[in-house]
Amino acid sequence: MHENLYFTNRKVNSVCWASLNHLDSHILLCLMGIAETPGCATLLPASLFVSSHPAGDRPGMLCSFRIPGAWSCAWSLNIQANNSFSTGLSRRVLVTNVVTGHRQSFGTSSDVLAQQFALMAPLLFNGCRSGEIFAIDLRCRNQGKGWKATRLFHDSAVTSVQILQEEQNLMASDMAGTIKLWDLRTTKCIRQYEGHVNEYAYLPLHVHEEEGIVVAVGQDCYTRIWSFHDACLLRTIPSPHPTSKADIPSVAFSSRLGGFRGAPGLLMAVQQDLYCFSYT
């Protein structure tokens, strides 16, 4: 939209923020391969997407790595995997250092659809098509025994994993519409959030501990907000547009919309429209 030189006609399978120079300095894109062009993971400076950026002074593409068909990606803020990102592939996880190019490979039994690095513990959590959630111990330098640090199980393909602030709990959602809060110390489900609708879609989950809410948009195009602490369904917001599987809303919640003094609210994007719902 801002005359970006790097728009591509290739499908973007996954995208996340990357913090190379400073927090959220770059964007990590996983692009599908087409014809003779292999799949790749590309780091772009976030300043490319700022409309005020001088047209004649565009920073170049930082780097690109050949990666076959990544389903998911995550950037590491853990000091034990500094300047690194992970990609979830079909039956494999790759951890790549963007400075040195060093790469670690971990074989899995299923496609890895969701990933997140822990910040304090040297762990990378992965959610699989099989329903398994497992953690990789980043201190393991090979595929020997012991690199799976934690294992949890859903009954359907896991589409989102969220490590909570104290890193004692993890929240996950799957393609059966199940949302569970797991205790990582006991590996037991301690809370389940009812009402989410999903049959086969890759839908994100939004957890806001400081506000005590969980937000998810279902395949029925309803946005649901639960209480984080007791799993009570607080609000159900229908889509402003007619329900369509091709037009599932995208949402983002902020405690301070518009800046430090902003009010909390929910932004909802549907088709070409953007809606704002105030929150109290």
- The answer to whether the CB of 217 falls within 8 A of the CB of 248 is yes
DSSP 69-100: --SEEEE---GGGTTEEEEEETTEEEEEETTT
- Identify the CATH number of the domain defined by range 1-153: 2.130.10.10
pTM confidence score? 0.89
Instruction: State residue 1's pLDDT score.
Output: 42
In DSSP terms, which residues pair with 270 in a beta bridge?
273
- Average pLDDT per consecutive 10 residues, the chain (280 residues; last block may be shorter): 58 91 91 83 85 57 82 94 93 92 90 95 95 90 65 95 94 96 95 95 92 94 96 95 88 87 91 88
Quote the distance between the C-alpha of residue 154 and its chain's center. 18
- Cα separation of 65 and 44, whole Å? 12
Instruction: State residue 225's pLDDT score.
Output: 96
- Cα separation of 247 and 224, whole Å? 16
- Cα separation of 54 and 68, whole Å? 34
* CA-based end-to-end distance of the chain: 33
Closest CA to 15 of 37, 47, 41: 41
- Cα separation of 218 and 175, whole Å? 10
Instruction: State residue 57's pLDDT score.
Output: 54
Maximum distance among all alpha carbons in the chain?
A: 56
Structural domain boundaries of the chain? 1-153
